[in-house]
Chains A and B, each alone.
Chain A
Amino acid sequence: MVSAMEIYMLLPKTNCKKCGLPTCMAFAVGLLSREKKIDECPPLIEEKKYEAKLKKLREVMAPLETASETGLIIHPEKCFGCGNCVVACPVNVAAEPTRCGVGLGPQGDKVILRVEDGVVICNNLKECRRFGPNKVLCNACTATCPSKAIEFV
């Protein structure tokens, strides 16, 4: 996953404040949290000398576009379908304490993560603790993944 520093290195680094933020570093953090867009940096778009940087930045930012509202990215090709995240997710356990709580696969549709056709899929994203303005930076699903198939932006 790309870091704020890597994004910063691809920005003009002039701190021109045209984007409305005080520094380019702040803009890089804004891009990573998806509060800002690349087009909001006028020098990068307009000036020709930044063309190569802009192209590289778009490439780097492309995987972030597939992330969900909570910043969750699932790589199905890496997933083992082990269900560690399904059992570890606190919302899943609260939704089905007699199933997810004791290690069984969920039966209902209230859970966020579940394993279908051998790989994990995500549903009911609004229930996730990372959703909305009062989010908690929970990482139960990423910390328990043996193959790094789940990531947060």
Chain B
Amino acid sequence: MAICTGCSLLCEDIELTVKDGAISHVRNLCRKGHGHYQGLLTQRARPMIDGEEVALDQAIAKAAEVLHGSKAPLLCGWSNTTLEAQAAGMSIAKKLGASICDTSPPCLGTLMERIISGSAPTCTLDDVRNFADVSVFWGSDPSNSHPRHLSRFSYYPRGEKRQKSYEEERTCIAVDVRKSATATLCSNYYFRVQPGGDGEFIESILATLDGKIPKFGEKKRMIELGTILRKAEYGVIFPGPGMLYSLQNKLELFETLLAKLNEIATFKVVPMVERFNSRGYYQLLHGPGNSLAAAAKGCDAALVIGSDPLAELPLATARALARVPLIVIDPHRSLTVDAASVVIPSAISGMEAGGTALRTDGVKISFEPIIESDLPSDEQILARILEAI
């Protein structure tokens, strides 16, 4: 049995057959997880300084030197690495006085802070499987982002109090700007919102819950949605990046909706984070985190770990980051690795290196290495950098 680190569900029932140091056959792993491992094994990173291949020790020493000589270092990434490595990263940030941020959507930090501090009610995904009867996917498409979400937790499995499952007892609602793969499964309960119109949509739901006629959207459909939510015994909302980007600084609206729903029934929030240990990063950070866009403009050197910011971030932020010397710790080749001054290859977490991570709902999951590797893990590399600075 192995743990998949392809997304934040950290599936624990993967059966692998390893042959000649590679995975030859695998069961129960979704296409995304399968692609994740196949991709990592194909193009491995090599230790490099300014485009020239060097020994691993030299690369680590150079990384420590660059960080030590920097006045405003930035440590970014962190969502695709273990809790132990994140803790080591926080120690480095403390010692250097560096700013630390991740590459998630800007308002995810605020939502995570509310959930972790307990001001937004939350539950584990096992509770969702056992008790939930209404699942709302808002601005998220788990069929593509977390392929096994519906089959393991939120819709299809039979739970303690939900033995008849999707056939009779569960309702799945999708709120999205387009008819996603998940929305096709929800059939009649797909509600389209205009891009940026999530705030209006929330106001409409609030109006229907108060027994008023909604101002925005199709009135009949909104009243139908209000009735489903009102009748729910145990509802769960899964807010995804679509909703967070749309609401931006108006997250209070969502909290108002949540408070209103909890007056009528039990409603919980489980975030849909993309990377396997984003949740762990926020849990260790105890706060909403810094804005990467501002930090990238003000830094003079950056350490990137567990992410590919140059490929993922908006162009202005990526350009600002690309102009400073980059130190990248990554198991495989990416755009950021290609542009980096110092590259330190690491073992793949969950495959070549063990550790612990937090699932999207905050459950701690430990994993062991499956394949032996000579490369050090993220945690070992950061510990060596911490010693050297």
Chain A residues in the interface with B (C-beta under 8 A): 79-84, 86-88, 93, 99, 101-107, 114-119, 144, 146-147
B151 interfacial by beta-carbon distance below 8 Å: yes
17 CB contacts below 8 A, A to B, read A80-B181, A82-B151, A83-B151, A86-B151, A87-B156, A88-B156, A88-B166, A102-B157, A103-B129, A103-B151, A103-B153, A105-B14, A107-B15, A114-B27, A116-B25, A118-B29, A118-B30
> Across chains A and B, which 8 residue pairs bring their CB atoms closest together, nearest first?
A105-B28, A118-B34, A103-B157, A81-B30, A146-B181, A81-B31, A103-B152, A82-B147
- How far is A146 from B35 in the complex, measured between Cα atoms in Å? 19
Q: Enumerate chain A residues within 8 angstroms of B192, measured Cβ to Cβ.
A: none
Rounded to whole Å, the gap between the CB of A89 and the closest CB of chain B is 10
Rounded to whole Å, the gap between the CB of B12 and the closest CB of chain A is 8
A79, A99, A102, A147 — which one has the most chain B CB atoms within 10 A of its CB?
Answer: A102
Chain B residues in the interface with A (C-beta under 8 A): 13-15, 25-35, 129, 143-144, 147-148, 150-153, 155-159, 166, 181-182, 184-185
Whether the Cβ atoms of A146 and B143 lie closer than 8 Å is: yes
Q: Could you count the A-B residue pairs with CB atoms below 8 Å apart for me: how many are there?
A: 96
Nearest B-chain residue to A101, judged by Cβ: B158
Select one of B35, B148, B159, B166 contacting A82, CB under 8 A: B148
Q: Enumerate chain B residues within 8 angstroms of A84, measured Cβ to Cβ.
A: 150-151, 155-156, 185
Whether the Cβ atoms of A102 and B31 lie closer than 8 Å is: no
Select one of A79, A114, A117, A119 contacting B25, CB under 8 A: A117
CB within 8 Å for A80 and B143 given contacts A87-B151, A118-B35: yes
Whether the Cβ atoms of A83 and B28 lie closer than 8 Å is: yes
Q: Enumerate chain B residues within 8 angstroms of A106, measured Cβ to Cβ.
A: 28
Whether the Cβ atoms of A102 and B30 lie closer than 8 Å is: no
Rounded to whole Å, the gap between the CB of A150 and the closest CB of chain B is 13
CB within 8 Å for A118 and B152 given contacts A87-B157, A102-B159, A103-B129: no
Select one of B147, B155, B181 contacting A81, CB under 8 A: B147
- How far is A105 from B15 in the complex, measured between Cα atoms in Å? 9
Q: Enumerate chain B residues within 8 angstroms of A82, measured Cβ to Cβ.
A: 30, 143, 147-148, 150-151
Besides the contacts A84-B185, A103-B152, A105-B28, what 20 more A-B pairs have beta carbons closer than 8 Å? A80-B143, A80-B181, A81-B31, A83-B151, A84-B151, A86-B151, A87-B156, A93-B158, A102-B159, A103-B148, A103-B153, A104-B28, A105-B14, A114-B28, A115-B27, A117-B26, A118-B34, A118-B35, A144-B185, A146-B181
